[in-house]
Each structure stands twice: as structure tokens, then as C-alpha cells.
Amino acid sequence: MARTPRHQPRGTGSFSFMLGLVALLAALIAMTGPDLAAQSRAASTDTTQPPLVVAGRSMITTKLGIVASSQPLASQAGAQILTAGGNAIDAAIAANAVLGLTEPMMNGIGGDLFAIVYEAKTGKVYGLNASGWAASGVTADLVAAQSPNGRMPQSGVWSVTVPGMVAGWDALRAKFGTKSFDELLAPAIYYAEHGFPLGEVTARLWNPAERGAGNAAFKATFAPGGHAPKAGEEFKNPGYAASLKRIAKDGKQGFYTGPTADAILATISAEGGTMTAADLTEFTPEWVNTMTTNYRGWTVHELPPNSQGMAALMMLNIMSRYPIAEYGFLSTKAMHVEIEAKKLAYADLLKYIGDPAFSKLPIEQLMSSANADARAKRIDPAKASCRVEPVALAGLEQGESETIYMTAIDQDGNIVSLIQSNYSAFGSRLVAEGTGFVLHNRGGLFTLDKGQPNTIAPRKRPLHTIIPAFMEKGDVKIGFGIMGGWNQSQAHAQFVSNIADFGMNIQEALEAPRFSKRTFDGCDVQIEASVPAATVRDLKALGHEVEVHVGRFTDQFGYGQAVMSNGQGIHFGASEPRHDGAAIPQGPPVGAGGAKKP
């Protein structure tokens, strides 16, 4: 039924005018369907039905390339590289370099990098693990003796591992790139020298720079005068520009040797750490095969350990044993299964997974159909489980979520799914003098418990939270990711289900309400406020200790990006409304040196 207008029109004949208006609205509703609002952005797979999620943004659509990231300046830099004739790999490096400037609490050249690359001409999928190792000489006993509480420090020198990002850039460019570092890093150098104004969400995330620990160079770089920059305020970082110029000139050697490396080692030494020059120069990223599972006909790719990617696959394997689509989107049954599947998958991950270079990991057993069957049977449809065996390892709960995810597609259909992180906000909070970037605190994910797959050791890589993802079905290819610490695997599984079970497009799948369980024991779970109240009530009745976050979008559920090729030359991009980001399309060729003609 059409609503009566809130205010009567002024003047004579107002009642007749009102009746006419009501009749007109009723006629429009009859012609266009029962819910005009729900139909306004109907772009899901089944366009004959109202969408399950009314997206606040449309997908970007083009026959050319797209770069999607959490910062429009970064997306634009990548899109400019595409217009200049670069490919998706070139664009990803350029955008990532800008992200290190515009979102330094989340990422930067002092952190690690993981990527999945889809090569359109061969149909092959490649994985890259550019996560650095612990310093020589570091042991569990040494760190425990230096730790006030005997647990793995979450900031400071003992949390620093070798930054893998620049080596990752070098590996990506050497294998797939077409542009020089000089060209790829030019946009980031420009913004670092000339400045840029902060976005709204970014400014809020920058606030921790004012508080807590950090060496003098950290405070001078990111909280000059004792204050973090505010939204709309300009920020410059000449130290970061200098570090990028050395990479532009000498490649990865401009980071792992020379002035930048010397400054890193001097800072580590001053803080009492054990990192050596050889730890930097001898680090090499690793090309790996992705791990896959089939979910409702979609092949989902994640990176193997030392990342948490297999938790997303184990979770999907468990979920596949239940008729999620029949249960209904955001129904109590569907969400109960997903939350319980998360607990089971993560319990196995934390018990058995670490750096495969240091111990044999039972990956095949964990990924087997038999294990999925057995774990799925552990879900009690009438009650939430507050303790799931195996028990989580000490020191890993409540991981921070300071990461960026970005993805790019070029006009040929090549896709890069890339994630890069400092781990916690501003990482270790240590900045080497004159470098303009923080050293990450990824080592905080190690445990000091002896004899575990993830026990800290010299040149060992910690269990990693950051994971890029890729999924494909026939000719349709999707690069996607959702950052947020231990939120990531569970968010990936929800994104895949939104597409595979409920036919959403990539923008709808990102905007859909999510849950997140950051801990590995107990019945606590965080849920976005847009989940129906009846579902929340029924989940509580099952024993879930639900914390509902006020507001449609909050920063507790991660930020995602996605690109897609439909296999017919049309490309789509989506960006997370929970952040400042944007999916920006490549422009057409302009003058000499432009992109290939479509």
C-alpha cells in the first residue's frame, strides 16, 4: 500500500491532489514490482528477483582494466599505469606503493606481502609468499627473558621480522611486469613529496600514532608535533620518498642493502635486537602453488601455509555439508553453521599449522573430505559450542587487523589479488631514521610455547593472518580479499557463500552483513547491526554470545575489494563501503604511449 504523504499540499484542492498522488504512486508500484527500493540496484545473478542486499554502490563496469583499493589515490595511480600500457601486475605495484604512504598504519615497505596472480593467456594461477623470517639469533628463551609477561611481545624490536614486501614487488615485476620501478613508484614519490589530504576513515585509523610507545623517528614521522593529521589535513613524508627513490634506482637492492638497510639494522641494534645484514640480503620470496577447494561448483584458491588461507577452505568444506541456500540468507540456521564451521576450522589451523620449512604439516589430512565430514558432524544444530578441540595455542587470540587488500584486472583479463600488512596499527612502532616507514610487528604472531609448529626460531616465518583469494567458475574469474587479522578466512568464506549460495554480484557480496569471531574459544561472536533482529535473537537462544555493532558499516568486520571478468571481455570492480576506498577504471588511450586499443 502506498504511504500517505507526510505533509498536505498547500492551497485549494489539496485533498483531491493527494488522492491523485496516491493513485499515481500505486500505479507505479503495480508496474514496477512490490518493492521499488529493493529493485533500485538489482544486479545480482538472478535479476528477476529482488536482491538480497541493496548495495550502496554500483559495480564499476568496463572493457578495460580496474584497480580496487582502500585509497582512491592508490587506485587512481594503478589505473594510470594501466592507461600508460602497463598490466595488472604493474598497476598493483604502483597502487601498493601509494597505499604505503596514504595508509601507513596498515601497510608499507616495512611489512610483508602475499599475492595470487591469474594469467589470462595461459589460464594458470600463481601464488607468491613474500613473508619475511625471524632474525638470526632469536629464540623462544631469549625473547621470553626480555618479555615482561613471558609472552610474545606485540610491539618493539622482538616483534620485527624481515620485511618481505619489496622482495615481493621485485618477484612480481620480474615474472610478469612490463614497467620499470622508476615508472611504477613515481606516483607514490610525487604524493610523498608534494603531500596529500587524509580521507575520513583513514584519519580515524591514524589516531593511534598519538598514543602509546614508539621511537623518536616514529613520532616525528607519523605524529609530528605530537598530533596525528586529521581528515582533510595534508601529510607529506620525504623519508618515504627517499626510500622509494632508492628502490626505483637499484631495485630490491635499494632496500635490502645500502642506506635503507643500514638504517634498519642500526635501529634494530639500538633496541637490542639480533637482526643481521645477511638476514636482509639472503631473504627470498617463494612462488607457491595455491590450495583449492570446490564449493558449489566454484574453485576457490587460497595460499598454503604459513598463511591462514586454508582455514577459509576448511570452513567452506564444512559448510558444503549443509544446504546453506535452502536455509536462507542471514537465517539463524545458515549463520549458526557458518559460525560453528569457523570455530572448527580455526582450531585445526592453530594446532597444526606453521612454517612448512620447519615441520611437516598435515595439510592433506586437514583438507580431506573425510575430515570435512567428521568436523561437520561436530556441529550441534541446537546449541553453540563454546569449546572446540583442539584448543587454540597461547598468544594468538585477538589479533590486530591493520592490513590493506587490493586487486587489479587489466584489459587482457589478467588479475592480481594482493594483500600487504604491518600487522598491528603502525606495526612495531619503530621507524628507522630517515626512512619514512614503520617496521612491521609480524613476529608477534609467533608463540613462545616450546615444540609447536609456530614456535619462534631463527629464520622461521610466523603463522600469517594476511591472505589474498581468487575464485573461478568456467570463464568467470574473481580476485577478492577482505582484510582484518583473524577475520579474514571467515570473511572469505562468507563472501564465497554470498556468491555461490545466494547469487550476489561482487559489490553485493562485499556489502552484505558479516559476522566475525576474533577469538578461538568461547561462544562470543560479533555481528553487524543490519543482520535481522530475529536472527540475532535466535542465535542467542542457541547459546551464541552475540555482540551487535551499531551502524550498518563498522571497521570491526574488515575491508574488502574485488574484481571480476565475465569471460566475455567485460570487467567489473567493487570496493568496500566500510572504508575510504574506490574501484577506479582505466582511462582510454590519450596521446602517444597510451594503452592498447580495446
Catalytic positions are 403
Strand (E) or helix (H) holding 234:
strand 234-235
| DSSP string of 88-123, one letter each residue | HHHHHHHHHHHHHHHSTTT--TTSEEEEEEEETTTT
CB atoms within 10 A of CB 61: 14
Find all residues with CB under 8 Å of 176, minimum gap 6, and list them.
87, 89, 117, 119, 414
Q: How far apart are CA 189 and CA 389, in angstroms?
A: 49
What is the SS3 string spanning 261-303? HHHHHHHHHHCCCCCCHHHHHCCCCEEECCEEEEECCEEEEEC
Q: All 3 cell numbers of residue 160?
A: 620485527
Q: Answer whether 66's CB lies under 8 Å from 573's CB.
A: yes
Q: How many CA atoms lie within 13 A of 95 on its CB side?
A: 38
Where in 39-103 does DSSP place strands (E)? 60-62, 66-69
Q: 460, 580, 587: which is closest to 65 by C-alpha?
A: 587
**530 three-class SS:** coil
Q: Answer whether 500's CB lies under 8 Å from 370's CB.
A: no
Q: Which residues of 198-233 are buried (b: 16+ CB within 10 A; e: fewer)?
A: bbebbbebbebbeeeebbebbbebbbeeeebbeeee
Q: Residues 497, 500, 503, CA angle at the centre, nearest 5°? A: 105
Please report the sign of the dihedral spanned by the C-alpha atoms of residue 317, residue 322, residue 325, residue 331.
Answer: negative
Find all residues with CB under 8 Å of 494, minimum gap 6, and list them.
338, 512, 514, 515
The amino acid sitting at 10 is R
Q: How far apart are CA 508 and CA 488, in angstroms?
A: 18
The amino acid sitting at 540 is K
Q: Answer whether 125's CB lies under 8 Å from 301's CB.
A: yes
